[in-house]
Amino acid sequence: MRRLLLGLLLGLALYPVQSLAAGDGKTTAVKPESKDHPLKELWSGTHYSSPEVRKLQDSDSDNPAMKLFGKGETLWKKAEGRAKKSCSSCHGDTATSMKGAATRFPAFFKLSKKPVNIETRINLCRTKFMQARALPADSEPLMALSIYVKRQSKGMAISVAGDGPLQPFLEKGKDYFTTRRGQLDMSCAACHDKYAGQRYRAVKMSQGHANGFPAYSLSAKKTGSLLRQVNQCLARVRALPLKQGSDQLTNLELYLAWRAGGLGVETPAVRE
């Protein structure tokens, strides 16, 4: 009973105070490719931001997260480890080698027989080919490299397959997204599928797409990973956090990527 009451209280907090009308001329909706998609049309989180935040995101000189882009470029070219190699030693110019990479991840990794996200793939390259240490989970260097790689796909449509070897992992990610949890007995879908465009406290609820992460948070005044955002949501419903590199997080990210199929890559985005 207590869980139900807490859930109802959160539901009241999400009750429509002011909804953002779709088609406001600032962004464009995308029609889901799958008939099984839970949403009728897809809107990036940018759609729910103010004009000032959109302008900040679109300016390379003003976007606060672009500082990490510069750091990522430096790390990309830096030789490390016993092999004395850098990322560029194998992959060369990112504008060519990494173009479109962010649209395909998480991707199935044959050696581990499961999907990996870009951050895990970066660390696999570091440990296997550079013979360097893996970068700490959710650390600034790892976010910097992630931003630098993902930025090469800016504007390109996300296209992650939900069939083949990825299908069972996609289903697990969907199950996590739709399962109620925590003391408030809420699921991710309860907010992002039903209340997008409505206010949660001072900000508008988005559809929960991950096409802009890592992203700069104006409220937190720092750049954060998808893990940080997911765990922030979990804390709000009083649920246990996820860990970087965990199967649960990767499966969830896979489902989010499939769910955002057709939306353009915006990394690094700016969010309120």
- Same domain as 45, residue 33: yes
- Residue 3: what pLDDT? 52
Percent of the chain beyond pLDDT 70?
Answer: 90
Whether the pLDDT of residue 269 is over 60: the answer is: yes
- Same domain as 224, residue 107: no
Assign 272 a pLDDT band (cuts: 50, 70, 90). Answer: confident
Residues annotated as catalytic (active site), given as ranges: 233
Residue 5 CB neighbours (<10 A): 10
- Same domain as 165, residue 56: yes
- Same domain as 100, residue 124: yes
Whether the pLDDT of residue 64 is over 60: the answer is: yes
Residue that terminates a domain, selected from 151, 170, 205: 151
- Same domain as 74, residue 34: no
Q: How many domains does the chain have?
A: 2
Residue that terminates a domain, selected from 151, 181, 215: 151
Q: How far apart are CA 157 and CA 263, in angstroms?
A: 5
Q: How far apart are CA 271 and CA 49, in angstroms?
A: 7
Domain that holds residue 9: 2-62+157-271
Q: What confidence tens digit (pLDDT) does each residue in 158-183 have?
A: 999 888 999 999 999 999 999 999 99
- Same domain as 243, residue 162: yes
- Same domain as 89, residue 18: no
CATH number of the domain at 211, please.
1.10.760.10
Residue that terminates a domain, selected from 130, 151, 172: 151
Distances (CA, A) of 67 to 45, 53, 224, 229: 21, 17, 13, 20
- Residue 36: what pLDDT? 87
- Among 122, 147, 141, 150, residue whose Cα is nearest residue 75: 141
Q: What confidence tens digit (pLDDT) does each residue in 23-38 have?
A: 333 478 999 988 889 9
**Which residues are within 8 A (CB) of 68 and not within 5 positions of it... i.e. 6 or more apart?**
140, 143, 144, 147, 148, 214, 223, 268
Q: Which helix (H) or strand (E) holds 200?
A: strand 199-200
- Same domain as 49, residue 165: yes
Q: What pTM was computed for the model?
A: 0.88
